[in-house]
A = this chain, B = another copy of it.
Amino acid sequence: MEQERPTSEKPGHPPAQASLHEVRTAENSAAFLLPKLQSMKESNPHLKLLDVGAGSGTISVSFSKLIPDGHVIGVDVNANILPRAQAVAEEAGVQNIEFQQGSIYSLPFPDETFDLTFCHQVLIHIGNPWDALREMLRVTKRGGIVAAREGDYETECVWPESSELLKFHKLMAGLMSAGGGTPTAGRQLVSWALKAGVERSQVTLSFSTTSYQTPSERTTLSEGLCDQLRGGARLREKAVKFGLGTEIDFEEMIQAWKEWAKSDDASLAMLHGEILVQK
């Protein structure tokens, strides 16, 4: 079953939480796709691109800027996030974009509709990622590209270390698994693509990193995570339900993230897997 993304992508989400997702752009979250996008655009400026699990739409909007003569559709399973995505598009002044509700398991489009079908941090949260990839392939034109970038949460490394931050890591991995997701998604993408029916020769695999380490990055991350620990995105409620944390744990983790953000030598980094599938 498809899960809601355990994120803050809802109306009324506190700003600190939203800012954690809204820093995402095509440039920082889909760099592996951009050379291919560029070469495809040169032969066809009117590319149709689908961003699945678009959330607040910041990646979708940056795609729409990269293909001004093309068209972008962002879908998200959570209809409540769509007004925020539309607002992001309006603020950016882009016209060649629209957002609609849709599940990655059953995309509301005919076969072979898009030149490029993309998702970011979606497969990591769902139970049958190979079915999702098969559906993404269905709506992609022959000769088109399906692209996915997913974190490998087990590679997350945080410095300085503390027992509270380690506890937080385990809490998040536990929530992901309890929700049907796969904390080691990044390393499994090729395996999932093969299970979706493609040949290995159709798949290009790469890896990249996401990190937080400058004072402003540390503040953004710390505030976003503390916000979740205070109850945003129902994290606290779910954690207690699954027996993954106590009220005391949450307060200690909040303190630990606040301390972490103040450390000159602090960083958090994680590896992401990336696949380009040539249909």
Chain A interface residues toward B at CB < 8 A: 152, 154-155, 157-160, 184, 186-188, 190-191, 194, 200, 205-209, 211, 213, 264-265, 267, 269-271, 273
Contact = CB atoms under 8 A, between A and B. Distances in A.
Nearest to A271: B271
A76 to B, nearest CB: 28
Given A155-B155, A157-B186, A208-B209, 9 more contacts: A155-B157, A155-B271, A159-B187, A160-B191, A190-B213, A194-B264, A207-B209, A270-B271, A271-B271
A269 B271 contact: yes
Copies of this chain present in the complex amount to: 2
A43 to B, nearest CB: 27
Interface of A: prevailing SS: strand
A233 to B, nearest CB: 26
B157 A267 contact: no
A157 B208 CA distance: 13
Given A209-B209, A271-B269, A200 B157 contact: no
Contact of A190 (B190, B194, B206, B267): B267
A180 to B, nearest CB: 19
Contacts of A152: 157, 269
Contact of A207 (B188, B211, B273): B211
A15 B207 CA distance: 28
A157 to B, nearest CB: 4
B213 A205 contact: yes
Nearest to A155: B155
27 contacts: A152-B269, A155-B269, A155-B271, A157-B184, A157-B187, A157-B271, A158-B187, A159-B187, A159-B188, A187-B267, A187-B269, A190-B265, A190-B267, A194-B264, A194-B265, A200-B264, A200-B265, A205-B213, A205-B267, A207-B209, A207-B211, A208-B209, A209-B209, A209-B271, A267-B273, A269-B271, A269-B273
